[in-house]
Structure 1
């Protein structure tokens, strides 16, 4: 562990967390929506699919504003400089998506590799469609607390394609200056350099 800490603090803390948790048992059964206990693998997988489908597809959808005229800078071709900057900011040690491409693979790309990744991004941008792997996420349920057989006692994280994330991040960086004036100052979620501590501080000051 001492060696892990000196060479890679991330690996060190992963080891610490694993030792603290100890052995964690996975649920061999899960309750259906109607309260029936499911035991077969097929039924359990089907229940998880049903649960996350209902959770992530609410019936009440927010209203969407009509888009304004396109900005020439936003609508222009994606440059290799944009892609390179986003790739350099990727964090290592993250789980890959369905395509099994790790961030380390992308960060090790040379100029030629970054050129072809930029070409893929431009094909997606101009066609309005993305590769299937970019649009496919692997949902992993993580246990929180309570009964392990109850789906609502888990939170799901979605593992997405890293090349798809690069493409999404490039687009997000382009539209951010246009969207920022419309965002309320109180919003901290999904905004850089803001988080829970900012909200807690605000509440503390108000109270």
Structure 2
């Protein structure tokens, strides 16, 4: 077995060397959900991060099943691929389009899937 982990969260995921498939563990998904910052913006799915964090114990199993099936099939749900790109003002004249930077707001479960893979 080898271990892979999202460095930002200090968590580890185990990959079975025999099947080379990610075993998305419910505990890891629950931990990732509980560490969400409720003050961040919602993605295009309009699911508030506070709700995901507060209901982590309830939805962790379902998300871990979705993650495992997605990993095995190689397909990511279409909703996780969508993003809202919005311009955020940097500095200078607000009338100049070059003074804005694009911010991509993506689905939170999609981000969790990326962190757990």
Q: Structure 1 length as normaliser, TM-score? A: 0.45
User: Match of 1:124?
Assistant: 70
Change (3 A) 1:110 1:88: closer
Contiguous gaps of at least 5 residues in structure 1: 1-69, 172-207
Which is richer in helix? 1
**Match of residue 35 from structure 2:** 89
Given candidates 17, 20, 41, the residue that maps to 1:72 is 17
Q: CA deviation at 1:110?
A: 5.4
**In 1: Cα distance, 2:22 partner to 2:79 partner:** 24
Q: Distance in 2 between matches of 1:90 and 1:121?
A: 18
Alignment gaps of 5+ in structure 2 = 1-14
Deviation of 1:77 (Å): 1.9
- Of 80, 87, 91 in structure 2, the residue corresponding to residue 145 of structure 1 is 91
Deviation at 1:108, TM superposition (A): 2.0
Q: 1:31-180 residue pairs with structure 2 within 5 A?
A: 72=17, 75-109=21-55, 111-171=57-117
Q: Could you say what the CA RMSD is over the residues aligned between the two structures, in angstroms?
A: 2.2
Q: Distance in 2 between matches of 1:112 and 1:125?
A: 21
Quote the Cα distance in structure 2 between the aligned partners of 1:147 and 1:76.
48
TM-score normalised by structure 2 residue count: 0.75
- Runs in 1 of length 4+ with deviation above 4 angstroms? none
Aligned mates of 1:129, 1:107 — CA distance in 2: 25
**Deviation string, structure 1 residues 29-85 (Cα, Å, up to 9, x no partner):** xxxxxxxxxxxxxxxxxxxxxxxxxxxxxxxxxxxxxxxxx9728633211111111
The Cα of 1:138 is off from its aligned counterpart by 0.7
- Tell which has more relative contact order, 1 or 2 (C-alpha 8 A, sep 6+): 2
Cα offset for 1:107?
A: 1.2
Rg larger in structure: 1
Q: Is the 8 A contact 2:82 2:106 kept in 1?
A: yes
- Paired positions, count: 102
